[in-house]
Structure 1
């Protein structure tokens, strides 16, 4: 959902050279892309300032919050003056790349500052909107559409959110929230695909996810379902044993309810699962 504006007003007195597409990206390293080209980002303090404003788009962010984000618990005595300097530098950066006033607008809003962002520009906003649409589609029974909408949302991620700016506790906390939201959307998309009978196609993806997140019981449970529906109950039980052993070894705990239920489903050879597997074969 990278924004595309077809009617940008031309500059007075000459040919318009304004960017036609702009994306501000937080779902991965902080990134600005203008007309498919990545813009070199400013120095680190300005990147922190930009990220702090972008995680609260269109909201006023107080000077106290900005100072805390930029310097933590030990700000310099000149912190407030430094914030003003950094805001001025950030505004010049946005103007230099023809972003301010067209794609986003940095405003002074006592007791702090506000970065207004045009619709469709910021990836986190696009992600939230697509997930909300997918949830509505799923609730209405449109599982195919919901799966596509979740896929579009998931494709916005380029890596752990704000992975280059996680030394700030508040930004790190927000980044983890984005990561969790992405993980939730991924599991919901997999559940939709399972409901659509795509268990065979999902096995490879789920094996990769289990290998990447070996302690994530949700991925293992879904792999077991996909294997069982594909007539591979033995492999499903082997996956359970492997994850259970790892949970005990690494965390000293038994599997939780979701994984235990998947295990019981395979052991009892749930008829409904078998019928769905045959119907989709």
Structure 2
């Protein structure tokens, strides 16, 4: 999806051509393009653009100055190689409009990924939800609009995009927690909390992830760290954070992660797989083995979900996946071997042993 993006707002403003970034003018020209892009495929009046970019310091003959900025931007957009109807600026009554094909602007791509990920999460497809939401967060290349932060419109717009970034990260974290990826999630939460130290919802997720890693003491310390941070603002921890601390201290079973799943009914095809030579692989990779194992399980869940399969059980590198159609199980087994032969996240191939059996599912 990223290959089609030609206008990037989620970081320093970039217009991407076939040979890389296209040169743009100064902050005000960039500001005009950004305002149009934030309202892509909708008209923006001259007065809105002038107020947002120049504010009270209007130049002489402001309409002409704005027109000249638009002319230069049109030339820059044509250098992307996109047709005008895919990425171009048109004149509208009293203003201008950025016309874009869906996916040409990174904000549009993020919106589509977020919508798709949230829908997957609602239907219980946590693997696809995590994938889409994680990809959405990955479109940020730094603080949005940082290179035009002094323009009048930029403060509120940048705040909204920053809030969207953290919200999507939290939604991604929830899907990762649902998948049982609490070990991998802890450092990601700690990294984001460094930039958002007063956001209780992030602290809540960190405490839960730590507890599910059998790190009760660290989870309780995370609460104290949150309390001290909030105290700097003269605030007390909220009710949800306090309640979670009580549950962690009491080792409440309500906090435990559960991978209980519902088997397909009737005749079921089971795919059983494990990593060939996993002991030797562990000895060879050392600390790099757990991340590889986590990615391996991600592949299993994704291949299963794509074919309406259910990961019934995992034990180390072993896994049992159930399908209600034999053909889907065979397809998943074949795809698994191909997917892991040369995985992009590992320098070595991951060979798997796969077995397939069909029969009636026992009720669980």
* Two-structure CA RMSD over aligned residues (Å): 2.1
Q: Aligned residue for 2:203?
A: 220
- 1:252-267 matches, cutoff 5 A: 252-267=234-249
Q: Find the residue that maps to 1:225 and give its secondary structure.
A: helix
Q: Distance in 2 between matches of 1:33 and 1:180?
A: 25
Q: Aligned residue for 1:61?
A: 44
Residue among 14, 17, 21 paired with 1:38: 21
Matched, 1:168 2:159: no
Q: Find the residue that maps to 1:169 and give its secondary structure.
A: coil
Residue among 184, 204, 210 paired with 1:201: 184
Q: Aligned residue for 1:188?
A: 171
> In 1, are the aligned partners of 2:51 and 2:152 still within 8 Å (CA)?
no
Gaps of 5+ in 2: 261-312, 316-364
Q: Distance in 2 between matches of 1:254 and 1:3?
A: 46
TM-score (norm 1): 0.86
Moved more, 270-279 or 169-178: 270-279
Per-residue CA deviation, residues 165-224 of structure 1 (Å, 9 max, x unaligned), is: 121232321221111111111001111111111112212222222333222222211111
1:271/1:162 CA distance change after superposition, 3 Å:
same
Gaps of 5+ in 1: 5-21
> Cα offset for 1:276?
3.3
Q: Aligned residue for 2:347?
A: none
> In 2, are the aligned partners of 1:28 and 1:160 still within 8 Å (CA)?
yes
Q: Aligned residue for 1:245?
A: 228
Q: Aligned residue for 1:18?
A: none
TM-score (norm 2): 0.68
> In 2, are the aligned partners of 1:3 and 1:120 still within 8 Å (CA)?
no
- 1:65-80 matches, cutoff 5 A: 65-80=48-63
> In 1, are the aligned partners of 2:28 and 2:54 still within 8 Å (CA)?
no
Q: Give 1 or 2 for the bigger CA radius of gyration.
A: 2
> In 1, are the aligned partners of 2:59 and 2:65 still within 8 Å (CA)?
no
> In 1, are the aligned partners of 2:41 and 2:97 still within 8 Å (CA)?
yes
Residue among 106, 109, 116 paired with 2:89: 106
1:277/1:96 CA distance change after superposition, 3 Å:
closer
Q: Find the residue that maps to 1:115 and give its secondary structure.
A: strand
Structure with higher RCO (Cα < 8 A, 6+ apart): 1
> Cα offset for 1:128?
0.6
> In 2, are the aligned partners of 1:197 and 1:280 still within 8 Å (CA)?
no
> In 1, are the aligned partners of 2:17 and 2:79 still within 8 Å (CA)?
no
> Cα offset for 1:253?
0.8
Q: Distance in 2 between matches of 1:225 and 1:3?
A: 36
> In 1, are the aligned partners of 2:114 and 2:136 still within 8 Å (CA)?
yes
Count residues with an aligned counterpart: 263
Q: Distance in 1 between matches of 2:102 and 2:259?
A: 42
> Cα offset for 1:103?
3.2
Q: Distance in 1 between matches of 2:252 and 2:41?
A: 50
The runs of at least 4 consecutive aligned structure 1 residues that moved more than 6 Å come to 277-281
1:280/1:198 CA distance change after superposition, 3 Å:
farther
Q: Aligned residue for 1:13?
A: none
Residue among 32, 35, 38 paired with 1:52: 35
Q: Aligned residue for 1:211?
A: 194
> Cα offset for 1:3?
4.7
